[in-house]
Structure 1
Amino acid sequence: MSSHPSRRRLLLVLGAVLIVLAAVNVADKYGPPHTGLIAGPVVALALVLLARRAGLTWHDLGLSKRTLLPGLKYAIGAIVAVGIVYAVGVALPWTRPAFHDVRYHLHLSAALMTAFIVVPLGTVLLEEVAFRGVLLGLVNRHRGATWASITSSVLFGLWHVLPSLRLNHANQAVGAVLGTDAAGRVLTVLGVVAFTALAGALLCELRRRSGSLLASAALHWATNGMGLLIAAALTTVRFA
């Protein structure tokens, strides 16, 4: 008899989280510039409060003090690993075009602000709290780790549909491979959803192994923030 209320509660809280995230996604895409910089921290806090009210513990959310040190160790390792991969990617002529992205034609000050303020607060904080914190913890509590990882990762992939709509125009390598017409846009969106879903699964596993959101947040920031800085640096060198 107790499974029905548990399932109903899961669906209600899950539905509320998804509605909030959908609204933020649309506002970030079509709202004023840097909407996510304000909405990200506010919504992240609201989702944590909602999750706590739904019965999740700090450990369920990856925010326990006990897992802070393991999370820090994984975080440092993740940043170093991404740095090595990106260094190799820049050094090789056939992978360097992947870093040529018109979205990151920024001056040094703007690139630093974006990498160290906009990305952590406007992107990483909300996405990690939402997908590897609240959603992962919620589904894990009611349906187990496997379903939690699948649900979180699929939703994380779908979260990137709107941001990827013009990626085949913005990124030189993507446009060259998939094309810049309507078919290329469809292929780009499908590719981004699939890639980010797989990335989400990796982030979920890092979160599970470390027990801390700090680990997945570090990998997430390193992938976005360091990639942005490298793209901006390459642009500066090209047009210097």
Structure 2
Amino acid sequence: MIHYEYPLSERIRTLLRLEDLFDRFDAYAASPDPHAHHAALLTLFEMAEVAARADLKSDLLQELDRQKAVLAALRGNPHVQGATLEQVLAAIEAAHQGMYQLPGKVGQHLREDDWLMAIKQRAAIPGGMCEFDLPSYHYWLHQAADVRVRQLQQWLAPFSSIRSAVGIVLGLLRDSGQPELQHAKNGTYQRMLESRNPQLIRVTLVDELPCVPEMSANKYMLNIRFVHAGPGAMRTCADVSVDFDLTFCTL
């Protein structure tokens, strides 16, 4: 199965972008190849740019506070597993404390490193990171893989509390909805949202189906057009009946 997600607010869009960047960094850093570590460093720069939104920290802190209050009220509920609830509350508290103690903007430690900022500046130029442009960076890429990995993890470490908070909020958001089996005739699907007011819409398809969903939505209406996957013209899958799971998620 493949999950496709469509955020309906800028805040959720930012969290999804950060989640993707964290996962991408892990994949690059796990490889011993210097080119992969180069990609990991560029991903760190992207991460810092996305996380530097002025209201990101305050948004996450407020959401964690709200979720903590909602979940704490479930203590003693016979339909809730107490041990699991306490684990989630402890994770929320740890992420909240870590973010609260984080000084300045997220990613500020990267901006204060002149060596890293010189690399970032050259990275904006097509082909601008050759060895004759950045000999010091060329030297770093020729260090032992474990040396580079250790340095990459040090640069990532100040993002850990943000990463935990993003994971908690998105996890609770995704768990809030129940999938409903739907059918798209002639490759299109429309639905009135009525009073649902979702923050995230998820479409789940079997991975053998050569179609992908293009979604658009507002507070009143959801439109999904399934188009053929792969290169070439974007054609609607009008010759295919598409069965899919649709999930509305709201915190």
TM-score bracket relative to the smaller structure: under 0.3
Select the structure that is richer in helix: 1
**Whose RCO is larger (CA < 8 A, sep 6+)?**
1
TM-score by length of 2: 0.25
Structure (1/2) with the larger strand percentage:
2
Q: Of the two, which has the highest radius of gyration?
A: 2
Normalising by structure 1, report the TM-score: 0.26
